[in-house]
């Protein structure tokens, strides 16, 4: 079968992948569509260290082909969105409704794939690897969705929507009438914008150096658009209640903190290099300000994806509008180039 494999030096679309059958508590999914996220590109450039060879992809949707023993919540033929959280469901964090903190949900990559010619085992990225025609995931990662949601749109719920909207609703807990600044309006930033809109924020300021992104940012919920964070104070003289940094640049982290009002929160979503450091004056924090990390939107995928699916069906959550372009998986290189040049909100690979 086809898949996108990074061997530690280069990326190739290969045609000789194999995936094992699902075991107990696992689901085999035929992937229909997968969003190209900057986290996939971060594996390639080394920002996210990961063992190779690896099948990339972590934002996908498809159709269940088979289930292992003990799986009852989905059956073959069901449409599912795939999360990256291979959480155990039994630890203290899972029991408290914090699956993103499960220590078994990250850092233990498996090798369910192999190359048919050599038999070489291949790692699975983010417990997902949606850039393959078929993948095996833990049952908890396969979230049943209504079959009337296009799979090219549903794929984006597995990462971009969970991270962006979840950061607003679950982590920052933005309330009605509050002010929000979003630095960076890529795939994550756009979902933060619509999360803020759904939450009822009154002033939603989008900041991006690319003026071509203004129309899309406003469609997703921005009330204002700026090409520099320097002008935010003209709109919010005392600062913002919530500032989301969605780029992963230490200078922008500092700006996010500087833009906070009293009791404000800076929520860091952009992925910096592992050794990068940001600085800020601690004295500025004494007015009850906070800096919040956020993993995967502090999400509970089985609950949140079901919610987002219904919001989409009601017209309140935009998914189709996130999909700027679709590419057959063989055009991975072109999809990557478009993403790196900021031409797309989200490019989606199809099989």
> How buried is residue 238: exposed, middle or buried, by Cβ count under 10 Å (0-12/13-18/19+)?
exposed
SS3 at position 267: strand
Q: Which of 199, 108, 152 is nearest to 344 (CA)?
A: 152
pLDDT value of residue 35 = 97
Count CB neighbours of 248 within 10 A: 19
pLDDT value of residue 117 = 81
pLDDT value of residue 342 = 82
pTM of the model: 0.94
CA distances from 96 to 19, 89, 140, 294 (A): 33, 10, 16, 17
pLDDT value of residue 155 = 97
- The helix-helix angle for 332-340 and 38-45 (nearest 10°) equals 100
What does the CA dihedral 76, 322, 131, 71 come to, rounded to 10 degrees?
A: -30
Phi-psi region of 158 (alpha: psi -120 to 50; beta: other; left: phi over 0): alpha
Which residues of the chain register pLDDT less than 50?
Answer: none
pLDDT value of residue 107 = 72
pLDDT (tens digit per residue) in 269-313: 998 888 899 999 999 899 999 999 999 999 999 999 999 999 999
């Amino acid at each position: 079968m086809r898949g996108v494999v990074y061997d530690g030096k280069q990326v190739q679309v290969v045609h000789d992948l194999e995936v094992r059958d699902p075991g107990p508590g696992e689901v085999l999914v035929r992937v229909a569509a997968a969003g190209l996220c900057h986290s996939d590109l971060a594996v390639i450039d080394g920002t996210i260290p990961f063992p190779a060879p690896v099948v990339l992809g972590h934002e996908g949707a498809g159709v269940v082909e088979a289930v292992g023993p003990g799986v009852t919540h989905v059956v073959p033929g069901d449409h599912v969105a795939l999360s990256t959280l291979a959480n155990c469901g039994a630890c203290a964090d899972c029991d408290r409704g914090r699956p993103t903190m499960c220590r078994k949900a990250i850092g233990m990559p498996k090798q369910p794939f192999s190359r048919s010619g050599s038999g070489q085992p291949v790692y699975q990225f983010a417990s997902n690897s949606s850039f393959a025609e078929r993948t095996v995931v833990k049952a908890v990662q396969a979230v049943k969705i209504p079959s009337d949601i296009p799979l090219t749109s549903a794929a984006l719920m597995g990462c971009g929507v969970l991270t962006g909207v979840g950061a607003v609703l679950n982590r920052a807990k933005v309330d009605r009438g509050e002010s929000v600044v979003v630095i960076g309006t890529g795939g994550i930033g756009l979902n933060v914008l619509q999360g803020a809109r759904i939450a009822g924020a009154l002033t939603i300021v989008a900041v991006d150096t690319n003026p071509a992104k203004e129309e899309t940012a406003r469609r997703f919920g921005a009330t204002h658009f700026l090409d520099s964070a320097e002008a935010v104070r003209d709109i919010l003289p005392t600062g913002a209640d919530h500032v989301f940094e969605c780029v992963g640049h230490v200078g922008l982290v500092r700006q996010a903190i500087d833009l906070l009002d009293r009791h404000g929160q800076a929520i860091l979503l952009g992925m910096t290099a592992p050794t990068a450091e940001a600085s800020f004056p601690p004295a500025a924090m004494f007015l009850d300000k906070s800096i919040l990390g956020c993993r995967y939107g502090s999400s509970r995928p089985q609950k949140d994806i079901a919610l987002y699916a219904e919001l989409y069906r009601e017209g309140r959550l935009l998914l189709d509008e996130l999909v700027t372009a679709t590419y057959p998986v063989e055009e991975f290189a072109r999809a990557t180039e478009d993403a790196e040049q900021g031409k797309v909100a989200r490019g989606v690979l199809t099989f």
